[in-house]
Amino acid sequence: MGIIEWILIILIIAYFVSRFMQVKGITNISVQEAKGKFKDNDAQFIDVRTPGEYKANHRKPFKNIPLSNLSSKSVSLDKEKEVVVICQSGMRSAKAAKILKKQGFQNISNVKGGMSSWV
């Protein structure tokens, strides 16, 4: 194998490692841990699913801000408070957590398994 193939392999591995590594300031939490935060007045709860998904099945106190609108709507959130994000499976909320992190939010929790894990 030539040098170019090795560079490509290394780049591909680095890409996948970076996609799955824990980002500082983002914590993955269980549904039970999310429920435990409901009494915390300093936490903000965001559901990043589509309005249709949210309307069909959601939990209070989660507020619906679809992932596609998050970048522009995040100005309504307090950067000093924890943000708990949820979606259907945990994938979109993980993306949402990264978006919020890039916008300067320091304390973000992603609910593992999303609404699919809610009991």
pLDDT tens, residue by residue, 50-100? 999 999 999 999 999 999 999 999 999 999 999 999 999 999 999 999 999
- pLDDT higher at 110 or 1: 110
**CATH number of this structure's domain 24-117:** 3.40.250.10
What percentage of the chain exceeds 70 in pLDDT? 93
3-state helix, strand, coil in the chain (%, to 5): 45, 15, 35
Catalytic residue status for 87: yes
Provide the residue ranges of all domains of the chain, joining segments of one domain with +. 24-117
pLDDT at residue 101, rounded to an integer: 93
| Residue 89, CA distances (Å) to 14, 49, 57, 80, 113 in order | 25, 10, 13, 26, 5
Given a cut of 70, is residue 22 above it in pLDDT?
A: no
Residue among 87, 96, 97, 108 flagged as catalytic: 87
Mean pLDDT value across residues 25-42: 91
Do residues 31 and 69 lie in contact, with contact meaning Cβ atoms separated by under 8 Å? no
Do residues 113 and 89 lie in contact, with contact meaning Cβ atoms separated by under 8 Å? yes
Pairwise CA distance, residues 45 & 118, whole Å: 15
CA-closest candidate to residue 117, choices 23, 19, 29, 18: 29
Mean residue pLDDT across the chain: 90
According to DSSP, residue 104 is labeled T
pLDDT at residue 15, rounded to an integer: 74
